Amino acid sequence: MMLKDTSHRYGALSQCLHWSSAILVIALFSIGLWMVELGYYDNYYHQAPALHISLGILLFGLTLVRIFWRLSQASPQAIVGTSKWQHQLALTIKWLLLSLLTLLAITGYLITSAEGAGASFFDWFTIPSSIQLSSANVDSAGELHEWGAWLLIALAVLHAGAAFMHHFIKKDETLTRMLPFTKSHNRDT
C-alpha cells in the first residue's frame, strides 16, 4: 500500500488518520455523554474528564496533521457517475468536519484552562493556560462545545451514510478507497 494518496484512492497515511480520528470522535462523544452525568461522589468524576481532555488533545494533534496532509495532497478524483454537486457537498462536509474538530479542541481547551489550570496530556505534559474566562464565557464555551459535538456527530453520520449508500446502492469504490487492505479496480493502487 502506498503512503500517499493517488488519483483513485487514499494512501495509508490518509486512511490511518481518518480511521483513528473516527474512533477518537466516537470515544470522546461517548465519554462526554457519560461524564456529564457523573455525580461528585462517583469514582470516575475526576478521571473521566482527564481522559476526555487527553484524548481531545490527541485528536486535535491528528486533526492538524490531517489538515496539513490534505492541503499537501491531491485528493482522489470524484467517482465516475457522481454529480458535481454531490462531489462538492462531500468536500464541504469533509472540511466542515475538520473545522468542527478544531472548534471543539479550542472550546475544550478554553473550558479546561478557564481557571488557570493547564490541559494535561496523560500526565506526560501540560499545555499551560493562556487565557482565563469569566464564568459566563466558560458557560458559552461549554454550550458551543456541546452543540458542536452534536453537530459533528450528525455530520459524521451523514458522511458514513453517504459512504454506505455509495457502497451498497451505487456499488462504487467510494468506501473501499478509504479502507485499508482493499483492492481497487484502478491501476495506481
Three-state SS for 72?
A: helix
Q: Supply 17's cell numbers.
A: 488518520
Q: CA 97 to CA 63: how far, in whole Å?
A: 10
Domain boundaries, the chain: 12-178
* Domain 12-178 class, CATH top level: mainly alpha
Phi-psi region of 134 (alpha: psi -120 to 50; beta: other; left: phi over 0): beta
CA–CA distances in Å: residue 52 to residues 61, 142, 149: 14, 14, 13
Beta partners for 126?
120
pLDDT for the residue numbered 189: 43
- Reported as a pLDDT band with limits 50, 70 and 90, residue 2 is confident
- Reported as a pLDDT band with limits 50, 70 and 90, residue 80 is confident
